[in-house]
Amino acid sequence: PAQPRDRLRVAVQKSGRLGDPARELLASCGLTWRESRDRLFLYGESLPVDVLLVRDDDIPGLIADGVCDLGVVGRNVLVEHGLEHEAQGRGVRLSEWRQLGWGVCRLDVAIPEDLEWTGPAQLEGLRIATSYPQTLGRWLREQGVDAQPVVLNGSVEIAPRLGQADVVCDLVSTGGTLRANQLRPVTTILESEAVIAGPDHTLEDGRQEIADLLLRRLDGAVQLKE
Ligand code: PRT
Ligand code: ZN
């Protein structure tokens, strides 16, 4: 069991696409902070809320382990983590406490431009490059298609040109990267956006009240923006 803590701890991406908007979001809730010397920790001054700056991939695990209470992360990362844990039969369940409406993207299957698309059955037996093997695997099972995921942690889109895979399953926002690699999206397997992730139970040691306050302010800040 985690040590008792009376301050809320929120995990946020250190750099990358969601880092700045996440920090702006916390600032819009009235949070001010002091940065640690190693720049990995923001000590909350105006509220008992501290921020841990990490790789986005680590956020679900930090919440599941109780090291952090909440996190700002893409649904794509949250879903992949959840399926991984289900596959291992471990009982840590996370949920989306809020949908943030930014960081929007899709997890799409994309095929070489010059290939005709006849439907998911066409993927039977093909090698699919992806960083999201669990999410892809679930979709393939739902489609009754037996394909071979090729797990890559970057440069997924060039895999077909390198002969590493036949098609890809990757995040798409503008579609520019796919086009630059002569690929075209043919089907969406997950719609994603940034979310506030948390455990699927209430927090302890008074941290739920702090989280409620933060989320109330966040809801107010979001309404003001609209
Ligand atoms: O260092 P760290 O591990 O924390 O960061 P990261 O490199 O793993 O993630 P990062 O910062 O690239 O993305 C963080 C989150 O932003 C993702 O998990 C998504 O939830 C969200 N997001 C939104 C995206 C995109 N849009 C996106 N377009 N993440 C990645 N991309 C990639 C996409 O895969 C493609 O390769 O950006 C490229 C360009 O996309 P196009 O379609 O605009 O050309
Ligand atoms: Zn990452």
- The reply to whether 105-192 shares the fold of 8-103+193-225 is yes
Residue 117 Cα to ligand 2 midpoint, Å, equals 30
CATH architecture entry for 8-103+193-225: 3-Layer(aba) Sandwich (3.40)
Query: What is the per-residue pLDDT for 2?
Result: 60
Dist. CA 90–CA 191, nearest whole Å:
25
The minimum-distance atom of ligand 1 relative to the CA of 104 is 23
Please report the ipTM that was assigned to this predicted complex: 0.98
The minimum-distance atom of ligand 1 relative to the CA of 54 is 4
Query: What is the per-residue pLDDT for 89?
Result: 77
Residues in the chain with pLDDT values less than 50: none
What pTM was computed for the model?
Answer: 0.96
Query: What is the per-residue pLDDT for 1?
Result: 55
How many C-beta neighbours within 10 Å does residue 104 have?
13
Residue 77 Cα to ligand 2 midpoint, Å, equals 8
Query: What is the per-residue pLDDT for 91?
Result: 66
Residue in 59, 76, 79, 171 to alter for ligand 1 test, most ligand atoms within 8 A of Cβ: 171
The DSSP symbol for 138 reads: H
Query: What is the per-residue pLDDT for 221?
Result: 79
CA-based max dimension of the chain: 58
CATH architecture entry for 105-192: 3-Layer(aba) Sandwich (3.40)
Residue 68 Cα to ligand 1 midpoint, Å, equals 23
Residue pair 118/199 in contact by the 8 Å Cβ criterion: no
Domain locations in the chain as residue ranges: 8-103+193-225, 105-192
Query: What is the per-residue pLDDT for 131?
Result: 98
For residues 151, 157, 160 and 162, what is the CA-based torsion angle, rounded to 10 degrees?
-90
* Bridging pattern class, strands 70-74 and 8-13: parallel
Residue pair 47/30 in contact by the 8 Å Cβ criterion: yes
